[in-house]
Homo-oligomer: A and B are copies of this chain.
Amino acid sequence: MESMSDMVENMARRARKAAARLAYVPGDTKNAALENLARSIGTGREKILAANALDVEAARGKLSTAMLERLALDDKKLADIARGVEEIAKLEDPVGKVLCATRRPNGMSIEKVSTPIGVIGIIYESRPNVTIDCAALCIKSGNAAILRGGSEAFNTNAAFASLIASSLDSAGISADSVQIVPTSDRAAFAELLKLDQYIDCIIPRGGAGLISFISQNTRIPVIKHDKGVCNVYIDKFADAELSKKLAVDAKCQRPSVCNAAENLIVHKDSAENLLPAVCAELVSRGVEIRAGAGAKGVLSRNGIPCVDASDGDFSTEYDDLIISAEIVDSLDSAIDFVNTYGSSHSDLIVTSDAGRAEKFMARVDSACVYWNVSTRFTDGFEFGFGAEIGISTNRLHARGPVGLAELCSYKYKIRGCGQTKGNLYQG
């Protein structure tokens, strides 16, 4: 019998081979595979839902209600998943784009052209829609994928795996281009992380525990989606209505996501006027205010309920209706605050002063810096990428939203007529 490590290594070896071919498959062929997939999600509806019902049944009592809801599929969710695949098919092929071109004094031309990365390992947790989503993004970007979903979604993912394989096959693309680890055994996942000779990149989609385990156990480059401690800074020159509107959106519109705000910082000259007004709006939407020493005094005097912020609060990702608040003395202090306590994800200045806004955006060291726009827009769709596999908190390769372009590498094509570095051969 094939051992676990042999099984995983064979998958990876097949993926590497498939990647070499997938790299130059024409866009139309990749789109045909995606259209097949979208269609087969429709025609395979009953099989998928039956497999999913097994997973939901097995998970009942073990997962929270919220997790069960994420796991369970229905007709509407399936239709959304299929539509997502169709949308990806419609996007421009990210491979083979000339990123820049130049001609050198010796007459040779150099073209920088986008290519797939190669083999991408994607490791994720319970939501089974991620399986189709990642498969579609990898097919479109010409990357072979090895997907390892959560054990809770084992049967659902197996049903998806067979649809993906037949959709690729019908389009004439090797089914090895997208493989799903066919076991919920944790050892398979650990094996995968060792295979740096076959796998070019790991993308974890899941909580902090998953990301940290992966980073500590692999030499394969990881495109990390780490925590989002986002800041809203209300400047000395900030409009009250704009401040309220943006703080409310950044905190309350969807508190559980990485681009929601966790800290509210207010310039001292705006504190008496704006801090209570903004916090009152937040409190009226159920937000708990955790106030630093400076903010506490102003809020208390104005009758706004708050609790004391503890030391770690300003660097905590609450993912909930909680916000930390503090007053700063200057724009420079605000920038220092954001760079010290934030997580370099998405940070906002509310100000009517362009010079101060530009200074904030230049000096805050974050993937996305906003001037009078909610932090909630850090998202591949909102950025116009047409798709997204996550938000990278790396500084190398991809930073911020990761779309199809960020799932690509590049190569140089150099064309000439006999250019040589030296003059050794005279003919």
Contacts and interface: CB of A to CB of B under 8 A. Distances in A.
Contact of A411 (B252, B367, B371): B367
A397 B399 contact: no
Interface in A412-427: 412-422, 424-425, 427
Contacts of A412: 367-369, 378, 383, 400
Interface in A234-278: 241-242, 244-246, 248-249, 252-254
Contacts of A357: 415
A173 interface: no
Nearest to A370: B414
Given A249-B422, A395-B201, A424-B252, A415 B371 contact: yes
Contacts of A57: none
A235 B324 CA distance: 67
Given A384-B102, A420-B376, A371 B413 contact: yes
A contact patch SS: mixed
Given A221-B221, A363-B24, A415-B373, A396 B246 contact: no
Contacts of A5: none
Number of copies: 2
Contacts of A248: 420, 424-425
A125 to B, nearest CB: 22
A117 interface: yes
Given A374-B419, A396-B396, A365 B23 contact: yes
Contact of A104 (B363, B384, B413): B384
Given A108-B373, A372-B415, A418-B242, A424 B383 contact: no
Contacts of A53: none
A183 interface: no
A369 B411 contact: yes
Q: Could you say which interface size class chain A belongs to?
A: 35 or more
A416 B373 contact: yes
* Those 3 A-B pairs whose CB atoms lie nearest each other, nearest first: A373-B416, A249-B420, A376-B421
A420 B397 CA distance: 29
A411 B420 contact: no
Interface string A374-405: 10111000111000000000111101100000
A77 interface: no
Contacts of A253: 420-422, 424
A373 B419 contact: yes
B374 A244 contact: no
A366 B427 CA distance: 30
Interface string A339-382: 10000000000000000010001110111111111101110001
Nearest to A354: B415
Contacts of A420: 245-246, 248-249, 253, 374, 376
Contacts of A394: 221
B201 A418 contact: no
A60 interface: no
Given A117-B396, A365-B411, A367-B411, 5 more contacts: A248-B420, A253-B420, A369-B413, A370-B416, A373-B416
A396 B366 contact: no
A223 B397 CA distance: 11
B395 A117 contact: yes
B200 A396 contact: yes
12 contacts: A96-B362, A102-B384, A117-B396, A215-B219, A221-B394, A223-B396, A253-B420, A253-B422, A366-B411, A370-B415, A373-B416, A376-B420
B409 A395 contact: yes
Nearest to A401: B412
A102 B249 CA distance: 23
B421 A377 contact: yes
Contacts of A241: 427
A193 interface: no
A84 to B, nearest CB: 19
A241 to B, nearest CB: 5
